[in-house]
Amino acid sequence: MVIFHESFGILRTNCYLIRNETEVIIVDPGQNATEWVLKHITDKAIGILNTHGHYDHVFSNFALQQHFHVPIIIHEDDAYLLSNDDFNVNLPKSSPDISFTQDSDIYLGGFAFKGIHLPGHSHGTSIYDFGDFILSGDFVMDRTVGRYNLPTSDKEKQYRSLQKYFDIYSNRNNASHIKVYSGHGAPFSLEESLETVQKWLSFF
CATH of domain 2-201: 3.60.15.10
pLDDT tens digits in sequence order for the chain, 204 residues long:
899 999 999 999 999 999 999 999 999 999 999 999 999 998 899 999 999 999 999 999 999 999 999 999 999 999 999 999 988 899 999 999 999 999 999 999 999 999 999 999 999 999 999 999 999 999 999 999 999 999 999 999 999 999 999 999 999 999 999 999 999 999 999 999 999 999 999 988
Domain spans in the chain, listed from the N-terminal domain onward: 2-201
Concatenated DSSP letters for 135-159?
EEETSEETTEE----STT--HHHHH
CA dist 46 and 23 (Å) reads: 7
pLDDT at 161: 98
**pTM (predicted TM-score):** 0.96
CA dist 50 and 134 (Å) reads: 13
Determine if residue 126 is left, alpha or beta; phi over 0 gives left, psi from -120 to 50 gives alpha, anything else beta.
beta
Per the CB < 8 A criterion, the answer to whether 17 and 43 are in contact is no
pLDDT at 43: 85
